[in-house]
Amino acid sequence: MTHAQPSEAQEQRAAARARMVAEIAAMARDTGAETGRPRFGDAVMAAMGKVPRHRFVPALEDIFAYDNRPLPIGEGQTISQPYIVALMTDLLDPKSADTVLEVGTGSGYQAAVLAELVAKVTTIEIVEPLARRARQVLGELGYRNVEVRVGDGYGGWPAAAPFDAIIVTAAPAAVPQPLIDQLKPGGRMVIPVGGPSDVQQLLLVEKQLDGRTTTRRTLPVRFVPLTGDRGRKQ
Ligand code: SAM
């Protein structure tokens, strides 16, 4: 059997991804005292080293795809900084049998990273053209365990609930109660909270077996606001 040799372009992208992963590891060390995660799990870092971020950014941004920073994806939205994607993924403690809800599909990149680690990802996007594009790219890359839905993620996705983990990648003014309700006992939610002009906080919300929640602040962050009728209300 013959194996196709990787092209020069593929090798360059693999090298750029490896550099990005090294930068993520360095940032994790630098922020470890605040986040409680000075070293991200091997499986999370392997997923960051595998998912082709260049497929999730517009052609004009291709050369920046492996820079450790957010990039525009159209419709006034962004693909998050790779370090933040890795941090949020690591905070979720993803397990291979988990079902995960993402609110804010955007490009679909975060969903792809999660899809490398868990059994099923349901992701909701309020901007229809972004959802369509993300669904197409995820399909082309063979991610069969991701379902992209169009809608207001404030209300979660009751039909697929409860979830082992929930990740929110746009900032509401407060943690949406429907998302807490759709988290399994023992489940974890990672969510930025705060107004667009405030310093937002990246929160880790854990639901105890008795249904009560504990919340821990990790880092100050800057996300686009959660839109829709309910996201901005306190
Ligand atoms: N996770 C994305 C990725 O990997 O590219 C980045 C998400 S981007 C920072 C935030 C996304 O949340 C935007 O695409 C925005 O349209 C979406 N969004 C904002 N409010 C929403 C809502 N109420 N329900 C669902 N999606 C929402």
Q: Which of 77, 122, 166, 222 is the pocket-test mutation for ligand 1 (most atoms within 8 Å of CB)?
A: 77
Residue nearest to atom 13 of ligand 1 (CA): 106
Residue in the structure block whose two tokens are 């605040």: 34
φ and ψ at residue 78, rounded to 5 degrees:
-135, 155
Higher pLDDT, 159 or 5: 159
- At 33-52, the pLDDT tens digits run 999 999 999 999 999 999 99
- Contact present, 102 and 123 (Cβ < 8 Å): yes
pTM of the model: 0.96
Ligand 1 neighbour 71 (Cβ under 6 A): no
Residues with a known catalytic role: 80
Atom of ligand 1 nearest to the CA of 111: 4
- At 95-137, the pLDDT tens digits run 999 999 999 999 999 999 999 999 999 999 999 999 999 999 9
Which fold, 8-233? Rossmann fold (3.40.50)
DSSP secondary structure letter of residue 7: P
Domain spans, the chain: 8-233
φ and ψ at residue 35, rounded to 5 degrees:
-85, -20
